[in-house]
Amino acid sequence: MSPAEHYDPRGLEERWQHRWREGFCRFAQPDRLGLEPPRDKYYVLDMFPYPSGKLHMGHARNYAIGDVIARYRHRNGHTVLHPMGWDAFGLPAENAAIQRDIHPDEWTQANIATFKEAMSRLGIPYNWDREVDTSKPDYYGWTQWIFLQLYEMNLVERKASPANWCPSCQTVLANEQVVGGLCERCDGKVTQKHLEQWFFKITDYAQELLDDLEALPEWPEQVRTMQRNWIGRSEGVEFELPIDGLDEAFSVFTTRVDTVYGMTYVVLAPEHRLVEKLAQGTGHEAEVQQFVDEVLAQDRFLRAADETEKVGVFTGRYAVNPVNGRRVPIWVANYVLLEYGTGVVMAVPAHDTRDFAFARKYGLEILPVIMPPGETLTAAAMNDAYVEPGVMANSGAFDGRESTAALDDIAKMMEREGYGRRVINYRLRDWCISRQRYWGTPIPLVHCPKCGVVPVPYEKLPVELPHLVDFRPQGISPLEEAADWVAVDCPRCGKPARREVDTMDTFVDSSWYFLRYCAPSAELPFDKEQADIWMPVDTYIGGINHAVLHLMYARFITKALRDAGLHSVDEPFKRLFTQGMVTLGGKAMSKSRGNVVGIDTVCDKYGADTGRIFTLFASPPDREMEWTEEGVEGIYRFLSRLWRLFDGRWELASTEYDPDSLDDELKALHRKRHAVVKKFTKDIERIHFNTAVAAAMELVNDTYGYEAHGEVAESAHPVVAACLRDLVDVLAPFAPFLCEELNARLGESTSVHDRPWPTWDEDALEADIVTLPVQVNGKIRGQVTVAADADEETIREIALADENVARYTDGKEVKFFKVVPGKLVTIAVK
Ligand code: ANZ
Ligand code: ZN
């Protein structure tokens, strides 16, 4: 035996890094895809990072998940695409650059270099020949190209609208970027600002975006639900209400037209165009104006929140309920939003919780029109709204009808009489894509005094971002400062005109990068034929924080580009996997919190393999995992133990043996190794890596166990040799460096990472030993392990001799003894 060598991850990992790069491993070649069309493609995609700050173990976990899947698929004969790139534009880079007083481009490129280095230390062989950098003209020129396509398709619109404005970031935000009234980026309070903005008409795709969620069974249900809620489809009725004494009418949107006879007042959003006119001449003008001003100064998001107190004011006017001619007072209240439905609500306090609270507060009438089965509600006795269906009352010809059944008939009546119709409403709003920031894709449009808005011709793309020295936000777009750049001849009439100075939301950049990766092209944003081969992404891995934003936008852009004829897939991501956070001290690792463990630190101390396995083993990959020093050390010890198991017998004897000729102990080992291969196969497919690794640990233990009292020989027993070989095989995607080393030392001359994935023998798994729980007088008291074909007599003997069982049976008379084969032993004693 050779003297024991220590497991030295540093030297070993560096050595393999080198050899792989030199061509030893096919999978490690960055240009491995070549030009051949893939036979059985598999597209693994990790959400690309903002190259800001340093990579930490939270990132490492994300990328390790993708790498395990990629390696596994490659070894199963797939042509695997696993690309990486940089979401390089955007606020994080810009803010960081401002802080350090360097240019965002310089800052970004420096980070990209660091990120790449860290990824290579982790041993992740991305298809670097497909790398994208969204801040480079050869990428953002195509983002502009796509903008122009959407413009031609009438999916781009300029709207003056109250925009979400973040005073601290000095920019407009999309609704999706405002969380509970705060800026998603800086947590600052968001205000409203009236601005002309560019929008993508994502609402044109609302129904398809909703319907196609059904075609995504491999997405987490939670994410699909969040998307469904964000789209917020509701079916209802819109009908007109004439205004008493005014030649005006407005419409209301309701999902509960069955309650229409119970409307006792109506409520307008404070921003509604008719508010001022309604109050005119009623003597309520001043009061209404003051109320509106107050509400508009309030936060638009908190305004409608459940916890917010509902406040309002009477306009002095009345509307007429078209179904029964009743006059009802018109109010203005904070809880009605202009952007939803028609911005007017028919209030039915008896059956709507918000309306109920409001009516009680202001002494407005409450009229129950839906009765719980067998009950009669009276306004005075009600403590809250009755929101369930029931039997209609106080509803004219509909009295006595079941409310859910009558709903449709009331809608039909309104349609017949010409003042109402059935409509579908969506909560989804159009996507505001303009930003008053520097570090983004310039919007390829020109404003001409004569021709209006003129798109930049395709052949003039890219519209390059000028290199600005002072790019700090000033409330207007910093690009305004680049006078030479702004001044341009109108592409249509040739006269002096001005470039659009807003840049695009970076979510536009990330809404199509997966298409560029799989089908790079010099003539188009991506090649159609290649895109149709590679798309959809088979597994997409990223954070749950993108459940609505990025994933909704990417789905929309994919559909729009399909409709532009650029490719033919409906959905970009077949399976979505949302990984859990890595926490330190119970909080998600983050640079801003300062609780990060850097990849370099871990690689220096323990090696990449230990870091990778720890992040994948400590908990299921979709759950949080807490980074602990003891935990990493545990994994390091495991890998050292694995190393020692191989040590001294690098030249293994044969792994051939006849399973029928094995003694019990070797047979158990034989069963175990097949079970482990099966477990890894199934668990990698389900992304349950932690249980797979646990099974490998057991096999290591069992092998040591056999060795401890088995024959210690110069060359291992073929079953042990086969165990070692299996361990190398199945752990290779997790610990690529160490397994490559062990594989080489076993005498293999080719890379384990290019070897076919091992198979298992289902027959080997059949246990011929069973463990049966033993019940005494109805309670489980112990268990017995017996041969699967043991007879009742044998089982009885073993069961009664078991010390746990004996505690309840000793000295007592056995009245009853029964074996349910393979399941249970039942004993009754007295
Ligand atoms: C009368 C009614 C009676 C309502 C009742 C509900 C219960 P979803 O399901 O989310 O689409 N609504 C309509 N427009 C609104 C606006 N701009 N701001 C605030 N609330 C508005 O919600 C539809 C319901 O929300 C509508 O149905 C309307 O109240 C209210 F027993 O009409 B309902
Ligand atoms: Zn012009």
Q: Which of 28-32, 265-269, 808-812 has the highest mean pLDDT?
A: 265-269
Task: Classify burial at 61, counting beta carbons within 10 Å of its beta carbon; exposed 0-12, middle 13-18, buried 19 or more.
Answer: buried
pLDDT value for 627: 95
Measured in angstroms, how far is the CA atom of residue 352 from the centroid of ligand 1? 8
Q: Can you tell me which residue has the tokens 């119709």?
A: 421
| Distance between Cα 260 and ligand 1 center (Å) | 12
Lowest mean pLDDT among 492-506, 520-534, 806-820: 806-820
- Whether the per-residue pLDDT at 712 is higher than 80: the answer is no
Q: Helix (H, G, I), strand (E, B), or coil: what is residue 316?
A: strand
Mean pLDDT computed over every residue of the chain: 91
Select the more confidently predicted residue: 37 or 79: 79
For residue 273, pLDDT over 80 is answered with yes
Rounded to the nearest angstrom, the distance between the alpha carbon of 482 and the centre of ligand 2 is 21
Ligand positioned closest to the Cα atom of 492 = 2
Ligand 1: nearest atom to the Cα of 387: 31
Residue 37: pLDDT band (50, 70, 90) is low
> pLDDT at position 34, please?
75
| C-beta separation of 306 from 353 below 8 A | no
pLDDT digits (tens, 9 = 90+) for 788-803: 777 888 899 889 988 8
Distances (CA, A) of 599 to 147, 464, 625: 38, 35, 16
Ligand 1: which residue has its CA nearest to atom 26? 254
Q: Which residues line ligand 1 (CB under 6 A)?
A: 234, 253-256, 259, 269, 335-337, 340-341, 343, 345-346, 348, 351-352, 425
Residue 493 CA: which ligand is closest?
2
φ, ψ of residue 223 to 5 degrees: the values are -70, -40
Percent of the chain exceeding pLDDT 70 equals 96
CA-derived radius of gyration, the chain: 34
The rounded distance, in Å, linking the Cα atoms of 811 and 800 is 11
CA dist 796 and 798 (Å) reads: 6
Mean pLDDT of 562-568: 98
345 CA from centroid of ligand 1 (Å) = 6
- Percent of the residues in the chain that have a pLDDT greater than 90, as a whole number: 72
pLDDT classification of 2: cutoffs 50, 70, 90:
very low
User: Residues 140-168: what's their mean pLDDT?
Assistant: 92
* Residue minimizing CA distance to atom 8 of ligand 1: 234
Q: What is the pLDDT of residue 196?
A: 86
Ranges 20-24, 89-93, 441-445, 691-695: which has the least confidence: 89-93
Instruction: Locate the ligand 1 atom nearest the alpha carbon of residue 336 and give its number.
Output: 18
pTM of the model as a whole: 0.86
Q: Which ligand is closest in space to the CA of residue 496?
A: 2
Distance between CA atoms of residues 326 and 329, nearest Å: 10
Give residue 709's pLDDT band: very low, low, confident or very high (50, 70, 90).
low
Whole-number pLDDT of residue 3? 45
**Distance (Å) from CA 802 to ligand 2 centroid:** 96
To 10 degrees, what angle do helices 9-21 and 104-121 make?
110
Nearest residue (by CA) to ligand 1, atom 2, is: 256
Q: Is the pLDDT of residue 301 over 80?
A: no
pLDDT score recorded for residue 79 = 94
83-101 pLDDT, tens digit per residue, is 999 999 998 788 888 888 8
Q: What is residue 1's predicted lDDT score, i.e. its pLDDT?
A: 36
Of 52-66, 110-124, 348-362, 365-379, the least confident: 52-66
Distance between Cα 525 and ligand 2 center (Å): 28
Q: Is the dihedral of CA 245, 248, 253, 257 positive or negative?
A: positive
Checking if the pLDDT of 787 tops 50, the result is yes
